[in-house]
Amino acid sequence: MKKSVLATLFFAFAATAVFAQAPAQKAGTTQSAPKTLEQRADDITAGMVKNLRLSPKQAAELKEVNRSNMKFAEEARKKHRDNPPKLAQQMDMISQTRLSQIKDILTEQQFAQYQSRREEKMGVPREARSNPSQGPGQQYDNNY
């Protein structure tokens, strides 16, 4: 349950992470209209292209994954706004599907870097983070 909540929170806040990196607007200027789902997905993709040094083919595939999953998440929010447990379940499924799709697009090294950065942003304690250099059964188990 803890992992699904973290995954849901990550996906929900992934789009807002882009805004935190945007340059501050000058005083006295008016704010632009809110970004569309496609624009937010494209911003997320652009950050991943920059940080993970993706090829043009990877970037195009990732853009499609991000756009479609943002649409699915928005549809789930609208459909299940009155049922938080169902929304959390849907968001977890969307997040897991997206993660699987991303893993298929990225190289092993890129995915490890992506996972590390993702876990860092989610606030996963350092000792609980994925570490591909550890053997099976040696990873930190946070099941209490």
User: pLDDT tens digits for 55-72?
Assistant: 999 999 999 999 999 999
Higher pLDDT, 100 or 14: 100
Query: Residue 71: its pLDDT value, please?
Result: 96
> Which of these, 96, 98, 82, lies nearest to 45 by C-alpha position?
98
Q: Provide the pLDDT for residue 112.
A: 94
Mean pLDDT, the chain, as a whole number?
A: 78
Coil, strand, or helix at residue 64?
Answer: helix
Q: How many Å apart are CA 12 and CA 6, to the nearest integer? A: 10
Q: Which residue carries 């090294």 as its tokens?
A: 109
Residue type, 61: E
Question: Residue 9 above 80 pLDDT?
Answer: no
Residue 30, burial from CB neighbour count under 10 angstroms (0-12, 13-18, 19+):
exposed
Q: The whole model's pTM is what?
A: 0.64
Residues 6+ apart with CB under 8 A from 86: 80
pLDDT at 114 over 50: yes
C-alpha–C-alpha distance, residues 121 and 115, integer Å: 10
Question: How many residues comprise the chain?
Answer: 144
Judge contact between 62 and 105, C-beta under 8 A.
Answer: yes
Q: What count of other Cβ atoms lies within 10 Å of the Cβ of residue 25?
A: 10
Residues 118-138 pLDDT 10s: 888 888 776 676 654 444 444
The DSSP element (H or E) to which 115 belongs, if any, is helix 108-122
- Residue pLDDT, tens place only, 22-50: 444 445 555 678 889 899 999 999 999 99
